[in-house]
Amino acid sequence: MSVELILTVVVLTNLRLLGASRLGACIRTVGLQGLLLGLLPLATGGRLTTLHVVVLAVGSMVLKGFVFPRLLFWALREAHVTREVEPFIGYTGSLLIGGFMLGGAVWLGDRLVIGGTTDLSWVVAVAMFSILTGLFLIVARKRAIHQVLGFLVMENGIYIFGIGAIPGIPLLVELGLLLDIFVAVFVMGIAVYHINREFDHMETDKLDVLRG
C-alpha cells in the first residue's frame, strides 16, 4: 500500500465521520482510521521501519483498531443510543464545512515547511484536516460519544503530523500521547455511562445549568 492511498482513505474516513448519523458506523470508521494509521509508518518503505516505530505502530493499531471501538460499543450499549439526533450543525452542512476545512488544511500544509519531508508533502495537510475534523466533531455534536470520537480523530491527526515530522517527535512523547489517549477514552467511556445513568440522556448541551 502506498502512503498516498492511506492518506486518501484517511481523508475519506474523515468526510464519512462528518456525514454519518449512526454512532456505530462512526465508531467503526474511527477504528478503521486507527488501523490505517498503524500501517502508515510501515508503508513509508524502510525509512521509518526501525524497531521502536514498528512496536509503536502495532501497539496503536491494537489500541485504536480494537480496544477503543470495543470500549465505545460497550458504552453505546449501556447508554441505549444508536444515533445522533438534531446535531448543532446538520450533516449536509457538516460536509460542506468539511470541504472548506480540507481546503484550509491544504493551504496551511503548503505554508508549514517541515524539513526533509518532500516525499510526504501531503502529510501535513491530512494531519491538519484530521485535527480540524476532530475539533469540529467535538464542537458540532451533542452526544458525549461523539466528543470521544472527535478527540480520537484529533489525536490521529497529531499522529500523522508526528510521522511527517519524524525524527522530530521522540518515542517518549509518542508513548505519552498514546497513554494519554488511552486514559482519556477509558475515563470518558465511564463518564458517558455515568452521565447517562444519572440524567437518562448523554446530551452534553443539557449540562448548562451551571451558567452564571
Residues near another protein (CB under 8 A): 88, 108, 111-112, 132, 135, 138-142, 147, 204-205, 207-212
Cβ 197 to another protein shortest distance, Å: 19
C-beta separation of 124 from 104 below 8 A: no
Burial 73-83 (b: 16+ CB within 10 A, else e): bebbebbebee
Cβ 131 to another protein shortest distance, Å: 9
Pick between residue 14 and residue 44 the one whose CB is nearest to another protein: 14
Residue where the block lists cell 471501538: 69
Greatest CA span in the chain, whole angstroms?
A: 56
Cβ 207 to another protein shortest distance, Å: 7
Cβ 128 to another protein shortest distance, Å: 9
Pick between residue 66 and residue 91 the one whose CB is nearest to another protein: 91
Pick between residue 31 and residue 159 the one whose CB is nearest to another protein: 159
Pick between residue 16 and residue 142 the one whose CB is nearest to another protein: 142
Pick between residue 28 and residue 201 the one whose CB is nearest to another protein: 201
Question: Between vectors from CA 125 to CA 155 and to CA 90, what angle results, nearest 5°?
Answer: 70
Rounded Cα distance between 68 and 156, Å, is 13
Rounded Cα distance between 49 and 27, Å, is 29
Enclosing H/E stretch for 56: helix 51-62
Cβ 198 to another protein shortest distance, Å: 16
Q: Which amino acid is at 122?
A: W
Pick between residue 67 and residue 135 the one whose CB is nearest to another protein: 135
Burial of 36 by CB count in 10 Å (0-12 exposed, 13-18 middle, 19+ buried)? buried
Cβ 159 to another protein shortest distance, Å: 18
CA 129 to chain CA mean position, Å: 10
Residue where the block lists cell 500523522: 160
